[in-house]
A and B are shown apart, each in its own frame.
Chain A
């Protein structure tokens, strides 16, 4: 998302969505589909008074959840990818628990960890961490073994194999996994924020809906997608910076 062309692409696709939205609102003419113009004006008026705090809460939870997932998932994946024995031990566990619908565990998590931030982070981690584990493991497995051999033959230590080969070679895959995780995290976030909190975009949107304040509700949705866009762009920029050979 750095070149001029990709920015132009972003604006074009945004324009198409907005025009479609505007057309629908113009045809339906009901308060449940307000015109995008009104929604954006509303965001302009409300952002720093009403929304700012919710945005910060949500961003914090996303960063926290994804950060924790990376801290847990990447080393686990690396271990599984490097040591066949660890993989044999853990991959059945991963495959067994990956498909469990974790949202169904929300009540359990809330009972055990309370209604606060902990249970929200845990929910995000529970769902997202598997994608990160599996992708980082596969990324390690896909490194040609000869590459290790050539560094090994120069007398490199295990730590150097990690920092010089595994980290740079798996970075693109880990970032892709993070990108996918991000989308999932935002949608889980919305769900967890509708319970037991009065902060966050999920709460803001549901609250507006209950108050039949459609302008606020759509404003919240737009801001949430902008947050997603911003985060995706951040990852793209990070990828360009960190693995310039791609």
Chain B
């Protein structure tokens, strides 16, 4: 399979705190990989390292086999290939919904306004936000904001999407609409790496589930095995705690 991202011996240290210890894993084209684990286990840091919002302390990140930490590809170009959806949406509050989805295309990809608009509209339609294109982010709900954020990431037409706990900041009744958009995306063959606490989503949509604890990947496998018959005691313990809630 065509590996889009491969991580080898990745380490990240903040001060005296080793947040990621020797991480090895890969994401292939069309795969949906969910990363689960307790908070503080390093999942978000791993995601941020992947698109260099945090710079890894050591190790390799291969993008289509090229180590991007060796600067053969500029960080900016590499980042455009990976879309990122954040927990807190991080929309630009001074721009309308449509402009949020156009600004990156125009400023970074240097597309002209008309084609940027077309692309933005295509993805806003996909997430069901076309009727809100002129609204400002503070006029729409959290779930709608996150759908716009997904459309914004998609508008850059990345090769893979990274989701950093996309539903954790949402009111419970708004989680469903965002997960539905993500499921549709997964079915359309988008490559996705999702840090999440939504076990139902991971079980239903993921091709592979990665369980992280204390900066290491404890176990990774297809969801049926992880959820029904995990190999590691720590995985079992974590799932028992989270499913009890």
Contact = CB atoms under 8 A, between A and B. Distances in A.
Q: Looking at chain A, what size class is its interface with the partner chain?
A: 10 to 19
B88 A154 contact: no
Residue of A150, A154, A156 with highest tally of chain B CB at under 10 A: A154
Contacts of B80: 154-155
B90 A155 contact: no
A168 B103 CA distance: 14
A220 B96 CA distance: 48
A151 interface: yes
A153 B53 contact: yes
Nearest to A171: B94
B82 A153 contact: yes
Interface residues of B, number: 27
B156 A154 contact: yes
A245 B88 contact: no
B156 A150 contact: no
B83 A153 contact: yes
B53 A151 contact: no
Nearest to B48: A149
Contacts of B94: 168-169, 243, 245
Interface string A152-167: 1111110010001100
Contacts of B136: 245
B79 A164 contact: no
B53 A149 contact: yes
Classify the secondary structure of B's interface with A. Answer: mixed
Contacts of A144: 88, 90
A97 B136 CA distance: 42
Contacts of B91: 150
B141 interface: no
Interface in B25-59: 51, 53
A154 B84 CA distance: 8
A154 B79 contact: yes
Residue of A150, A153, A164, A243 with highest tally of chain B CB at under 10 A: A153
A160 B53 CA distance: 16
A164 B51 contact: no
A164 to B, nearest CB: 6
B76 to A, nearest CB: 4
B103 A152 contact: no
Given A147-B90, A168-B94, A245-B136, A153 B79 contact: yes
A146 interface: yes
A238 to B, nearest CB: 16
B88 A164 contact: no
B90 A149 contact: yes
A153 B84 contact: yes
Interface of B: 51, 53, 75-80, 82-84, 86, 88, 90-94, 103-104, 107-108, 136, 149, 152-153, 156
Interface of A: 144, 146-147, 149-157, 160, 164-165, 168-169, 243, 245
